[in-house]
């Protein structure tokens, strides 16, 4: 934990942009984990998510970076060649989500995320047990969206809601 805490804050500011920081962090994790021995490879599984805003054409657009050596959300196996880096916001903004590609960080895709956010899309991510979390969370979100569409919820920014 100290190792990770040391790489947050001031260390992150040494990089020109969040992606450079994410790449450096992935490289350091691969280096650190290559020194460790685990009885079972899956005991060395780790996933880190961090969010940052990137400036694109004058807009501050959120991005979530995922650095993980887990092969999937079952958390039962790790990649034999170490940690992978993934940009998450673009490909998860589609329902159902599409596959991630190296183009997801390009300006046109970042601006598409911005447009979707301006049109009401919400970025919802979870950690831990997605299978158990997603179904009830999606049901609750759907209920809230329906109540908003019907006008049954008040905008919390209005005087009437206070």
Residue-wise pLDDT tens digits, 6-32: 888 778 888 999 999 999 999 999 999
Specify the pTM: 0.80
State mean pLDDT over 30-47: 92
Sheet holding 47-56, edge to edge: 47-56, 59-68, 84-87
Q: What DSSP designation does 103 have?
A: G
Residue 33: which residues within 8 A CB-CB, separation 6 or more?
44, 46, 69, 82, 83
């Amino acid at each position: 934990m100290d190792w990770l805490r040391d790489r947050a804050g001031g260390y992150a500011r040494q990089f020109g942009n969040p992606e450079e920081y994410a790449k450096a962090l992935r490289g350091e994790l691969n280096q650190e984990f290559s020194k460790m021995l685990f009885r079972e490879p899956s005991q060395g599984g780790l996933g880190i998510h961090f969010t940052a805003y990137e400036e694109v054409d004058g807009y501050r657009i959120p991005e979530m970076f995922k650095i993980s050596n887990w092969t999937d959300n079952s958390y039962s196996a790790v990649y034999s060649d170490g940690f992978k880096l993934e940009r998450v916001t673009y490909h998860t903004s589609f329902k159902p989500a599409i596959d991630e590609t190296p183009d997801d960080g390009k300006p046109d895709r970042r601006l598409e995320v911005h447009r979707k956010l301006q049109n009401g899309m919400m970025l919802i991510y979870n950690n831990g047990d997605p299978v158990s979390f997603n179904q009830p969370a999606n049901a609750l979100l759907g209920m809230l969206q329906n109540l908003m569409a019907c006008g049954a919820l008040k905008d919390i920014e209005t005087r009437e809601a206070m």
